[in-house]
Structure 1
Amino acid sequence: MSQSLTQLFDLDSLLTPEEIEIRSTVRKFAAERIRPHIAEWFEEGRIPARELAVELGSLGVLGMHLDGYDCAGTSATAYGLACLELEAVDSGIRSLVSVQGSLAMFSIHHWGSEEQKQQWLPSMAAGRAIGCFGLTEPDHGSDPAGMRTRAVREGDDWLLNGTKMWITNGSIADVAVVWAQTEEGIRGFVIPTDTPGFSAPEIGAKMSLRASVTSELVLEDVRLPAAAILPHAQGLRGPLTSLGEARFGIVFGAIGAARDCLETAIDYAQTREVFGKPLAGYQLTQAKIADMALEVGKGHLLAYHLGRIKDRGDITPEQVSTGKLNNVREAIAIARECRTILAANGITLEYPVIRHANNLESVLTYEGTSEVHQLTIGKALTGSAAFR
């Protein structure tokens, strides 16, 4: 009898009964509600995001690792497991949840005023309001300090002008957390998207993350009251702390995509006959499967370990970079290798492998490129910053 990856590494022994229950609940939802439709959504480049947001809110996964304001208040590890199960179906679904909970909601929860928290967090946790996070600009991705979006004071108000790019949830968002240069340094603003001068044209013609809404944010003389500023965030620490939350979810999520590819390849190899016997019976196939299983298993162990560190409040940005760099890099390599086992069938949407591979091309470079994470780790180990 064949073993599952969970059995091979005895992964469940590292989780609490509550975490296993949360994982099972999210896995069941993803299998029943999303998996039957995801290939069609990917092919058509659309997603019923508002409908899904309400369902994900009812499931309790939006901002689930935050406390209060109708958020579930789970452990960081439980949140990671939810990301893992969602990305095992599609990176776009996990992105919706990550941007909502780890970027938009976290920013308001961590840096916002009590009024901002009361106004937005309960409806965002329920999925009734969707949020986005505007940091990246057309010419400033890896170097956010160079952003050109500016906010200037006009009396008691703020006037914002600028452009943000590659913004998940942008054109369906009800609220945008946008970062801008001010005379005081970089500050964050909570912007209702029906504010005059704010627009969010959707970006199309994507070959990756097609089951996800990606947009540009355009701010043309957007006038905001003084109360719109995030009062407790000043400088890059604000947005970078939020990015660390999202990167943590990717550590888990990417390995979910890898697991799904591997399980698909094993199942295919067991049923596909070549030269009179199953493909799984050949040594070269088993070598590929064994090598990939090691990396998927190690990726789980790394994610779980980082989850425990985060749960006790000791995680560092360098540790999150280590997890993101390793797990995404291994996941995309596994997706490509699994495609070779499926051969020509691997390029069709009948199987999830090429879809995962395409999605992971985006995951590889968003929330910090591999090069940025390499330099972050290099700086931690050598004491020398090599970004410039």
Structure 2
Amino acid sequence: MRIILVALMMLGAALPSRAQQTPPPDAIPVGTVRAEQKAISQNIEFVGRVEAPERVDVRARVKGYLEDVLFKEGDMIKAGAPLYRIESDTFEAEVKQAEGALQRSNAGYDLAVIQLRRAEELLSKNAGTVVARDQARALADQAKGAVTSDEANLSTAKINLGYTVISSPIDGRIGRTNVTVGNVVGPDSGVLTTIVSQDPMYVVFPVSQRELLKNAASENKADPRDISVRILFSDGVTYDQVGRINFIDVSVERTTDTVTARAVMPNPKGQLTDGQLVRVLLGTDKPETRIVVPQAALIADQGGVYVFIVEDGKAVMRRVKVGGESGPGSIIDEGLSGGEQVIVEGLQSVRPGAQVRATPASNALSGM
């Protein structure tokens, strides 16, 4: 009997303590998640354009009738592939004419050399005169000059004949043709077609001076070569390749106070198109440990942004400084140290100092 009495006394002593830990019946039910410390790579977003590293406007270098278009619009082509053929009969005739002129000048030079030798022999035997020798030498020099001139004319004629077949100077994708067979083309005809290289591609985007200064002043200053570059298409899909910054301009654009940066982006499947508008995401390969909370926990007023946390069964307001986004969560730079129970459900009824009954939030809000 004495043992039962002692047990009842101990149970009575424990009841007041348990009653103190249980929230009062009128406590506000809330859902909470813990402020987590995560290793994340924070991204900065810009708007950029895709540019081909090599872009060639194909033009005719000689004038003539266009005989053939030797490519299919939009195809990939190799350097040296023939694109257009211009009627070549006239240019072949010019080559033959230049060859004939060169033959005549070579024959004239050979004769002048023979005559110079005879004049020198006669002079050595006192049978000729110095004047005759000098005249023969001058004629030989003139004949040599004629040979040089005709050789140059023949080279020019052959070069022009070669220009009747217009070939691709680079590997890349070719655009549509601006001329068709039967038209007269020449140096004044404008661009016949355009070729752009495909892999890799450049992504060019402006970076504000504020971001550059912020990076320069940061303790974790990032080397541009360590910054990974990802891009998002206009439909929100993330490109599956990662690029690297390879160039930052040496001057600031005065009208926008930005510096042009350029990244090299692999394009093995040809998904990137020259001139395409994309969203550029920059992030470092060295993740930093940051505190992350669901975006649903953030409340804004005239004083800034704050969250409610649970301490001793009560709602406590904490002012925070948001440092960006990480997926569905927000990065907190100031105001939380990690591990706090942050309220994400039932916020419409919560007031500072209110008694709350905390339970884990639903997956829709707690998942980050």
Common fold, TM-score beyond 0.5?
no
Q: Shorter-normalised TM-score: what interval?
A: under 0.3
- Structure with greater contact order relative to length (CA < 8 Å, sep ≥ 6): 2
**Which structure's residues are more often helix, by fraction?**
1
TM-score, with length taken from structure 2? 0.22
TM-score, with length taken from structure 1? 0.21
**Which structure's residues are more often strand, by fraction?**
2
State the structure with more CA Rg.
Answer: 2
